[in-house]
Chain A
């Protein structure tokens, strides 16, 4: 019975949805996005399957991520030293998933600062991010039973300008000498200016970003860096809830699938180039996105 239900939910349902999309009755679907649709549906169902599995009590092994483990250590260190914690949620607005991930991690970090009674400082570059960050911190302090420790000026606006923001944050770093600095969000050219200043004051620095071009700078200047998908998985990892951990497991299985597909494409390309096969799989993967 359970198997039947699982088969219906995770095999027949996605197949049915994909079938309907490819059949395209009454032209209700856009033409050209088939490949991305199929992959989004498959990825979502794989993640959903592992979330369900995890909710049903299956043990999920999570690879220890040093940067996530170090977050609590960093806040603890700041508390011991009697210095503040500086959290920088990047310079992008809320339309970037990196900023949203940064704010989710901020929720966890502010819970820790509330618990340890450590001072938190969140300078932001976008007003709408400031409001969201303020609410996130307020809720975290409330949840920890320490609303008295929350201050309205904990999260404050500096400027929208990239380098003026970098100058402002550098000033805060040099004047207040925070013991722990978190860079979690979307960063551009200011990443190295900020990280190097943090390094010069001897703060423990933990970075995380989805901007692949900024990752090398953070790796060089910070103590710990969340690279690529680790950054997005951090909030799930920190929450520790089986639902969230299941989604990471699902994501990892999709990654394994991607690795297998890369190998298949690699072998096919070699065979195709030496005319040992007359089918080029890369033609099949080419996505013609309408937008």
Chain B
């Protein structure tokens, strides 16, 4: 019975939310737009207490029973209590009403937030730069054709996005393209000597051909334009394909949930 009730609530609210987007009944539209979200916020607010209790319970148990890594729990509990004191009891400044002190510069809570919490958060965010570098290194390793394409587009995007990309002359772009083509076709050459000589020949002859054909103004020879094209066309096409898949998946998942077929969320 308890479970049936949960299914009923899920199905009823699901259909109600859907109906709110199509039926012209202001109380229903208002419920979906405002009341329902407020209900959710209220329930979440109560759950916040559960979160806090869970956190304290977990770390107190760890500390009391001296479980593995219990030392870190001291730090968690002390920091937690300290913020409670500065948030609820000690303001640290004259003439500031309780509650408003959370957003007033100079109060103890604000000082802790500004000098401890924010730098720690920023440090974590800054770590992202190093993780991006190590992830890019792994992704750009030439293992197969796809990884090579990724490397080429990555390099072109990087060059095109930095100021130096705008001052690269047309002939240097041509040389870069020749290098890329030879990097992709190098394994097709049976003789290394032939490969090197044709590479050098191409480096000299192709820019001359382009110059005499008077096509140096083509966007193909401007790296920033090429990077713009990579970003706007192939990358957008790929991400839109994923977006369409996500949208269809969301509809199908929602359909399974509001018709009561997907019961795993309720433990079935």
Q: Which residues of A contact B (CB under 8 A)?
A: 21, 27-31, 33, 36-37, 40, 43-44, 47-48, 51, 93-95, 97, 100-101, 103-104, 107-108, 126-128, 130-132, 135-136, 138-140, 142-143, 153, 156-158, 160-161, 163-164, 166-167, 171, 175, 189, 192-193, 195-196, 210, 212, 215, 217, 220-221, 227-233, 235-236, 239, 243-244, 247-248, 250-251, 254-255, 258, 291
Contact = CB atoms under 8 A, between A and B. Distances in A.
A228 B246 contact: yes
B245 A255 contact: yes
Contacts of B24: 27-31
A193 B131 contact: yes
A234 to B, nearest CB: 10
B135 interface: yes
A166 B124 contact: yes
Contacts of A195: 135
Interface residues of B, number: 63
A220 B22 contact: no
B50 A127 contact: yes
B225 interface: no
Nearest to A40: B251
Interface in B88-131: 120-121, 124-125, 127-128, 131
Nearest to A215: B242
A199 to B, nearest CB: 8
B44 A128 contact: yes
B72 A232 contact: no
A136 B125 contact: no
Nearest to B40: A95
B21 A30 contact: yes
Contacts of A244: 256, 261-262
A210 B249 contact: yes
A255 B69 CA distance: 50
Interface string B18-41: 100111110001000100010010
Contacts of B58: 153, 156
Contacts of B52: 127, 157
Instruction: Classify the secondary structure of B's interface with A.
Output: helix
A236 to B, nearest CB: 7
15 contacts: A28-B25, A43-B248, A43-B255, A104-B265, A130-B51, A156-B55, A156-B58, A163-B124, A192-B131, A227-B242, A228-B242, A229-B249, A232-B252, A244-B262, A255-B248
Given A43-B248, A212-B243, A157 B22 contact: no
A257 to B, nearest CB: 10
Nearest to B239: A212
Given A101-B253, A212-B243, A228-B246, A157 B51 contact: yes
Given A131-B50, A163-B121, A157 B55 contact: yes
B254 interface: yes
Given A212-B243, A230-B245, 4 more contacts: A30-B21, A48-B255, A160-B51, A250-B252
B21 A291 contact: yes
B249 A228 contact: yes
Nearest to A142: B267
A193 B128 contact: yes
Nearest to A125: B51
Given A167-B124, A193-B124, A247-B256, A232 B249 contact: yes
Contacts of B245: 227-230, 255
B54 A157 contact: yes
